[in-house]
Structure 1
Amino acid sequence: MRHFYYPEKSQYQTKLSFQGIISTLFFCSQVVAAPQVINVPNAGTISNEIQQTMQEPLRAPQQAEIKLSPLVPSLSSGRSTAEKKIILREVRFEGETLLLPPSNRNNKALQAVITPWLGQKLTFNDLQTMTLAVTRFYRQQGFIAAQAILPPQTIREGIVIVRILPGRLDKPEVNNQSRLNTGFATAVIESNSCSKAVGFLGDKDCAASPAELSRLERAALILNDVPGVDAALALKPGTQSGMTRIYADITPGQAVMGYIGADNQGNDYSGHNRLLAGSVLNNITGWGDQLRTDLILSSSADVFNGLLDYNFPINTYGTRAALNYSYLDYTLKGPFEILNARGHSNTWGINFRHPWVRHSAARIDVNAGYYQSRMRDSLIMLPNQKRNLNTSEFGINGTFTALPRGLSHFYLLGIAGHLSLDDEFSQEANAVTDIAGTFARFNYRTGHDQGFGRYFSFFNQFTGQIASKNLDSSQKLLLGGPLAVRAYGVGEGAVDKGNIFTTELRALWPPPFSNWAGAGNQITFAAFFDQGWGSYYRQPIEGLMGNNINLSGYGAYITLSRPVDYSLNLTWAHRTGQAATPQPDNDQLWLSAYKMF
């Protein structure tokens, strides 16, 4: 962010006089509360504004499509089903008795299963019913192919032996109708469903691994995370007695996806109205890779931002690497047009993402990345400004269902970086702002959406950022905007440290459309309140007042949408907190329309 000083009497003018600009150049802070300061946005400012208006939607945990074998009694060969009765005194277990970790709790739970039959006169069919209950117990613990049987035996003194078969995994069978490499699909299933690791590199020995629901569920979800394929798993009998086989049915998913959209989530100097478009190519090489492009263009064609991302699997456990490049080009308009302010930035990055937790109740990812940004800005009568930014990041995020009809989410991200100022102008300004050098920041977000009644839900979210020192404009948290305090414009209230709280009461119902409109359409109406507070600079700049800011507002929105098809949104918000700019308007209107294909 570049800054100018100008006389207070002209602070509400929409254009600055050329003579005044040249004669009153001054380096100072971003504190808009001080009326003598005009902020001149740069490449970091605009790039940050774009990123913080494009938050990815939450991905709720998914139910894996798995067909399990039915639970049926097992008949031991050579055993008569005559009505001869015995008095059951004791049950002894043999075979894979260590499927469950030995503990008093597990022992008591297993004993509780057989207690109803102890001391009773039982027929062979009664004993089979008991073993079926033991089988059900093991399967409820997650061992979905385990089985309890009565082996051939002579019963003496009322002691009955029950053998536990673990249901070990056989080689998977894959019916692959997609372009995904079959060997890769098989390896994904084995890596995630087999528990027994062997060798220094941790290769999996499926023949020594029992079939577990949690691992089978993870294998199904990881396989469905592969772009461009849909997968369903089932259990079938194995090639040997006591073994089970995973059968995978893999069908083609969407090979190409895209979207177009329009919104007014810009501002005075970058253009309020924006056009958006993007595309995704899935499974290009047959190894689960993906190529993604995203484009943003202001309606006045003064801001262009493009992103190219290529991601691919690097192992069979679901870990993916991404190589990406983004380019930004801008020319400031509105109150800054006379400054002939323009610039661009280039950002390269590499990112790794691993699915730490995958099951029907939780979805948690960890990621790490490294990015290089080269930002160049020019201004009338000033030399080109050069800033080079290198950052490393590590984060964890996820969603989980802790309560019925509820969805919780969290996001934690730590960033460490170094900012180099490679021109004399920026270095002199840094003597005031102290943004150059090594820095760190930590971002956090947590929230919960709880459904109640037939149509309603209550949503709350808390977001924040802390920083080790004063930050460059590209690293600040934006308190105002469509995903923050919605009563303020994009870029208003850019702080080094701060928090945002949002609460919403939502009503969701299907619209009364005719059959031609199709199923799945949904109307969402919500009333909300937002509040954001923070400090413009981590370390206040000497001589400048008003380092803290508190923004708040309330409003309502209505959304008409259908998943993976379209979304229309209208949001109105009214300001109740302090002003972040000299703009007299207390109301904000946000519009967006997207079509997916």
Structure 2
Amino acid sequence: MDRRRLFTLAYALCAGFDPTAAVAAAPSLPGAATPGGAMPERPALALPEAVPAELYTVPAVPERGSVEAGQLRVPVRAFKLTGAEDHPEQGLRLDEVRELLETARQAKPEGFGIGDLEDVADRVTKLYRERGFIVAQAYVPAQEVKDGEVEIAVLEGRLGRVTVDKGTETGYSDELLRRPFEDSIGQVVHKDRLERGLLLLRDYPGFDGLGIFRSGSRTGETELVVKPQGDRPWIGTVTLDNGGSEVSGEWRLRGDLSWNNPTGAADRLDLSLLQTFDPLNSLFGGFVYQRPIFDAATYWGVDVSHNQYDVGGEFQALGISGISDIAELFVARKFVRSRQQNFTGRLGLARKHAVTEQEDQPDQIDNLSVLSLQLDYDRVDAAGINVAQFRWSHGLPDFLGAMPSDSLDASRKLADGSGVGSDFDKFELHLARVHNLPFAGQQLLLRLDSQYSADPLTSLEQFSMGGPDSVRAYPRAEFLVDKGVFVSAEWSIPAPGFADEPAFRDLKWGQVFQLSLFADYAKGWLNEPLQPSDSPVRLSGAGIGLRFQVPGEWQARLQVATPLGSHDASNDRNPQYFFDFVYNF
């Protein structure tokens, strides 16, 4: 009698005819052997990409010639401001401009020469530009001074039109390149509105470009010239790592390829393929397609993935395999897009279907329909970067073929023998802070990942503890829980002691090599656990990381960690080590 049949017989004898006892006697599979644990991990919070220092160029304020002594001076009783409007939303009020003019007038009771008047106009221009009106220009128009009243005129600079410089070939049409600025035509040019448009333009897949201002065809108008800098039709990465599990394949080879603007509509198609090794037990593939709708800040997309795996290692004799399919339709909008901060909202509806098969056993099926709302925010300040993500997920039982609120076919059984259903609410909060320390190039990375649900969840919705993006002293998906929290602190030091020394290819060692020290902690709870001892669970660890890279080309990283608590890793490895190599093309 083989090991699997022996196990099945023992399981039946222990269970008898009591379904509650059958659940209690069921084998305790590791989290990595479940449909959720076998899926590749979700990407960690991404930091905002660096914005080029010069997104646009504007005409400089003309320099004035020297003022000759003895020039004719005109006594000024009052300054008359023309061409200016109130802009309280941008932080500039007419009363403030008038106050500046009055202060300047009182400072010269002896009167003003033409050079003095031009200096007053320059001060008004400077105030406008400090408040973000980057093409505004104040000047002294030709006039006949009566009763000591001198006119100071302001050309605030309205955007007359947007044109495209065809000097560099691009796959984007003029219409698409003008689209981010449609709401700005006829409006006074302001830095925030302009930067939003240019950043939305640079968000076009594979596009790079900048803006140049020049005089418009009408007085007081300015023209924005979009100057493409070249397209990248394809972007790809190849990744080799050991972030998998012993039961479905520890080593993984993954390829990701993005096809930018395939239909000429500022769309993008992302393709992914992952194969595990040691053992060769898991294959994952997926694609994401997205394209703008309505305007450059709103887009829709579809996310489809397929994962199939066989459970190996010490559980291979059980003959367990699984297939998971996920398809999601989503729409997203970038509500805020700027250098300092970004805010995006995303609404999605997903169908998730996972089948777990075991020889001589009925199939276990998790069939979910999930509505989700996700909010992403990031902000750059003088000392670092803050990133936050909130996600609410709601299960919809009996919707689009989903299983009911409780299902006997579900992969997770409760103590009373019933199955976990698809009626649930789940809340996730992810926070990260990259803080620049007062030492050359050193940074502190603080992370928090958390999930709360009052409902028992299937593995597809559970919170994973352990792995290269969690507690690094344990293998991936050491535990799967319904609610949990993970916190981490990591101190990064570029090439300690030799960061400024030359390395190769005009790079310094501080750009190539990085040392990090980290500590991780996680705690999780199961709702309605089979045994009281199953919840809560705690994991903690500390370790060291090494990173080598050529920025923009490749990166190799090694992380080594050891547990700080009493729980031993399920793979009996201490210290735990994770390696990854990423090549960009």
Q: Same fold by TM (over 0.5)?
A: yes
- Cα distance in 2 for partners of 1:271, 1:330 equals 9
What's 2:127 paired with?
137
- Cα distance in 2 for partners of 1:515, 1:543 equals 59
Q: Pairwise CA RMSD of aligned residues?
A: 3.2
Aligned pairs for 1:81-230 (under 5 A) are 83-100=71-88, 107-108=95-96, 111-112=99-100, 115-120=103-108, 121-176=111-166, 177-191=169-183, 194=184, 206-207=185-186, 209-230=187-208
Aligned pairs for 1:403-442 (under 5 A) are 403-404=382-383, 406-418=384-396, 420-421=402-403, 424-426=408-410, 429-430=413-414, 431-432=416-417, 435-442=420-427
Secondary structure (helix, strand or coil) at the match of 1:87 reads: coil
- Cα distance in 2 for partners of 1:119, 1:534 equals 69
Q: 2:273 touches 2:284 (CA, 8 Å); kept in 1?
A: yes
Matched, 1:365 2:344: yes
Structure 1 window deviating more from structure 2 (115-124 vs 363-372): it is 115-124
Q: 2:403 touches 2:421 (CA, 8 Å); kept in 1?
A: yes
What's 2:332 paired with?
353
Matched, 1:384 2:363: yes
Residues 42, 547 of structure 1: alpha-carbon distance in 2 compared, 3 angstrom cutoff = closer
The superposition leaves residues 572-597 of structure 1 with CA deviations (integer Å, 9 ceiling, x where unpaired) of 00101242665544421101111111
Query: 44, 56, 61: which one pairs with 1:55?
Result: 44
Secondary structure (helix, strand or coil) at the match of 2:413 reads: helix
Matched, 1:281 2:267: no
- Cα distance in 2 for partners of 1:135, 1:240 equals 20
The superposition leaves residues 377-409 of structure 1 with CA deviations (integer Å, 9 ceiling, x where unpaired) of 1112211222211111111113211233x1111
Residues 254, 583 of structure 1: alpha-carbon distance in 2 compared, 3 angstrom cutoff = closer
Residues 571, 543 of structure 1: alpha-carbon distance in 2 compared, 3 angstrom cutoff = closer
Residues 333, 180 of structure 1: alpha-carbon distance in 2 compared, 3 angstrom cutoff = same
Structure 1 window deviating more from structure 2 (496-505 vs 315-324): it is 315-324
How far is the alpha carbon of 1:23 from its aligned partner? 3.6
Residues 60, 463 of structure 1: alpha-carbon distance in 2 compared, 3 angstrom cutoff = same
The superposition leaves residues 132-184 of structure 1 with CA deviations (integer Å, 9 ceiling, x where unpaired) of 11011111111112222223433234332222222111111112420112112
- Cα distance in 1 for partners of 2:4, 2:436 equals 47
Matched, 1:231 2:209: yes
The superposition leaves residues 193-252 of structure 1 with CA deviations (integer Å, 9 ceiling, x where unpaired) of x1xxxxxxxxxxx23x11111111111111111012211101100011111000111133
What residue identity is the alignment partner of 1:368? L
What's 1:447 paired with?
432
Residues 23, 274 of structure 1: alpha-carbon distance in 2 compared, 3 angstrom cutoff = farther
Matched, 1:490 2:476: yes
Residues 332, 104 of structure 1: alpha-carbon distance in 2 compared, 3 angstrom cutoff = closer
How far is the alpha carbon of 1:65 from its aligned partner? 1.3
- Cα distance in 2 for partners of 1:432, 1:165 equals 77
Aligned sequence identity (%): 21
- Cα distance in 1 for partners of 2:89, 2:45 equals 41
How far is the alpha carbon of 1:349 from its aligned partner? 1.1
The superposition leaves residues 360-380 of structure 1 with CA deviations (integer Å, 9 ceiling, x where unpaired) of 112322211111012111112
How far is the alpha carbon of 1:56 from its aligned partner? 5.7
Residues 234, 425 of structure 1: alpha-carbon distance in 2 compared, 3 angstrom cutoff = closer
What residue identity is the alignment partner of 2:442? F
Q: 2:128 touches 2:134 (CA, 8 Å); kept in 1?
A: yes
What's 1:500 paired with?
486
**TM-score normalised over the length of structure 1:** 0.86
What's 1:291 paired with?
269
Q: 1:391 touches 1:415 (CA, 8 Å); kept in 2?
A: yes
List runs of 5+ in structure 1 lacking aligned partners.
1-12, 76-80, 195-205
What residue identity is the alignment partner of 2:410? S
Aligned length: 560
How far is the alpha carbon of 1:545 from its aligned partner? 2.8
Query: 290, 298, 322: which one pairs with 1:343?
Result: 322
Secondary structure (helix, strand or coil) at the match of 1:286 reads: coil
Structure 1 window deviating more from structure 2 (163-172 vs 149-158): it is 149-158
Q: 1:292 touches 1:309 (CA, 8 Å); kept in 2?
A: yes
Residues 126, 395 of structure 1: alpha-carbon distance in 2 compared, 3 angstrom cutoff = same
How far is the alpha carbon of 1:324 from its aligned partner? 2.1
- Cα distance in 2 for partners of 1:239, 1:74 equals 25
Q: 2:364 touches 2:411 (CA, 8 Å); kept in 1?
A: no
Structure 1 window deviating more from structure 2 (370-379 vs 105-114): it is 105-114
What's 2:300 paired with?
321
List runs of 5+ in structure 2 lacking aligned partners.
none
Higher relative contact order (CA 8 A, sep 6+): 1
How far is the alpha carbon of 1:189 from its aligned partner? 2.7
What residue identity is the alignment partner of 1:45? T
Query: 449, 458, 463: which one pairs with 1:477?
Result: 463
Q: 1:502 touches 1:528 (CA, 8 Å); kept in 2?
A: yes
Q: 1:373 touches 1:390 (CA, 8 Å); kept in 2?
A: yes
Aligned pairs for 1:24-39 (under 5 A) are 24=14, 38-39=27-28
How far is the alpha carbon of 1:513 from its aligned partner? 2.7
Secondary structure (helix, strand or coil) at the match of 2:425 reads: strand
- Cα distance in 2 for partners of 1:255, 1:224 equals 14
Secondary structure (helix, strand or coil) at the match of 2:396 reads: strand
Secondary structure (helix, strand or coil) at the match of 1:338 reads: helix
How far is the alpha carbon of 1:18 from its aligned partner? 4.9
Query: 374, 395, 408: which one pairs with 1:395?
Result: 374
- Cα distance in 2 for partners of 1:270, 1:491 equals 12
Residues 491, 42 of structure 1: alpha-carbon distance in 2 compared, 3 angstrom cutoff = closer
- Cα distance in 1 for partners of 2:220, 2:517 equals 58
Residues 569, 383 of structure 1: alpha-carbon distance in 2 compared, 3 angstrom cutoff = same
Q: 2:37 touches 2:460 (CA, 8 Å); kept in 1?
A: yes
Secondary structure (helix, strand or coil) at the match of 1:62 reads: coil
- Cα distance in 2 for partners of 1:240, 1:251 equals 28
What's 1:591 paired with?
579
Secondary structure (helix, strand or coil) at the match of 1:426 reads: coil
Structure 1 window deviating more from structure 2 (584-593 vs 418-427): it is 418-427
